[in-house]
Chain A
Amino acid sequence: EVHLLESGGGLVQPGGSLRLSCAASGFTFSSYSMTWVRQAPGKGLEWVSAISGSGGSTYYADSVKGRFTISRDNSKNTLSLQMNSLRAEDTAVYYCAKDVGSNYLYYFNYWGQGTLVTVSS
């Protein structure tokens, strides 16, 4: 059974940093692209960043480019999102999601339960 478990969320001041992690199990982690999707309170879904199965290709939304860094450790089945220079508008539940593809981006057949990031002074 596929399982994705996010961690690392919390309250952080504007300009601060936070690192999210997603522990994956139940599938061959290195064979699939992984994505972070966020959802601001009461709002819709926003794609944030993705990484290919090998980790060789990374992609970012313009809203986070230059501030966020996605990475993965295929030996530990872990996906990460390093978030720097956080802003109030980054406040959201962050979901990690498993893509159906390996080197390209498609759609997501499994999602974690999410971790809440709150950026506030």
Chain B
Amino acid sequence: EIVMTQSPATLSVSPGERATLSCRASQSVSSNLAWYQQKPGQAPRLLIYGASTRATGIPARFSGSGSGTEFTLTISSLQSEDFAIYYCQQYNNWPPLTFGGGTKVEIK
């Protein structure tokens, strides 16, 4: 099973600032990585797939990078609606599909 580790667990950022979230895989997942955003009481929403491709309707301030075992989600200028929990998920080796533990982006 591929273990996905996200860091930090919590990121405190001021509106308008850049946020950088990390996701590490226990073995290479190539570029088979997705990012999701989840707000309280809501289902997750797909942001990024293929490590760097934005899903339909996702603003350009969200960008993904990386391959192999190291991945980054960057939010270039945080908006109020971006404060949420972010999860990475690998789909290179399955079953099982595996998620990271999440990074909570909170208002500083």
A residues contacting B by CB (< 8 A) are 35, 37, 44-47, 50, 59-62, 95, 100, 105-109, 111-114
CB contacts (< 8 Å) of A62 on chain B: these are 96
Beyond contacts A45-B36, A45-B38, A109-B46: 15 other A-B pairs, Cβ-Cβ < 8 A, are A44-B102, A45-B44, A46-B99, A47-B99, A59-B96, A61-B95, A106-B34, A106-B91, A107-B34, A107-B46, A108-B44, A111-B43, A112-B43, A113-B43, A114-B43
Tell me if B97 and A35 are in contact (CB < 8 A).
Answer: yes
Known: A44-B87, A109-B55. A60 touches B95 (CB 8 A): yes
CB contacts (< 8 Å) of B34 on chain A: these are 106-108
Tell me if B91 and A44 are in contact (CB < 8 A).
Answer: no
Main secondary structure of the interface of A (DSSP, over half): strand
CB contacts (< 8 Å) of A114 on chain B: these are 43
Chain B: minimal CB distance from A24 (Å):
14
CB contacts (< 8 Å) of A44 on chain B: these are 87, 99-102
B18 within 8 A of A: no
Partner of A95, one of B43, B87, B102: B43
Q: Which residue of A lies closest to B1 (CB)?
A: A62
Main secondary structure of the interface of B (DSSP, over half): loop
Q: How far is the CA of A111 from the CA of B36 in the complex (A)?
A: 11
B61 within 8 A of A: no
Known: A109-B55, A111-B43, A113-B43. A47 touches B98 (CB 8 A): yes
Q: How far is the CA of A53 from the CA of B90 in the complex (A)?
A: 20
Tell me if B95 and A45 are in contact (CB < 8 A).
Answer: no
Interface centre among B32, B43, B44 (most CB of A within 10 A): B43
Q: How far is the CA of A17 from the CA of B90 in the complex (A)?
A: 30
CB contacts (< 8 Å) of A100 on chain B: these are 49
CB contacts (< 8 Å) of B43 on chain A: these are 95, 111-114
Interface centre among A35, A46, A47, A95 (most CB of B within 10 A): A47
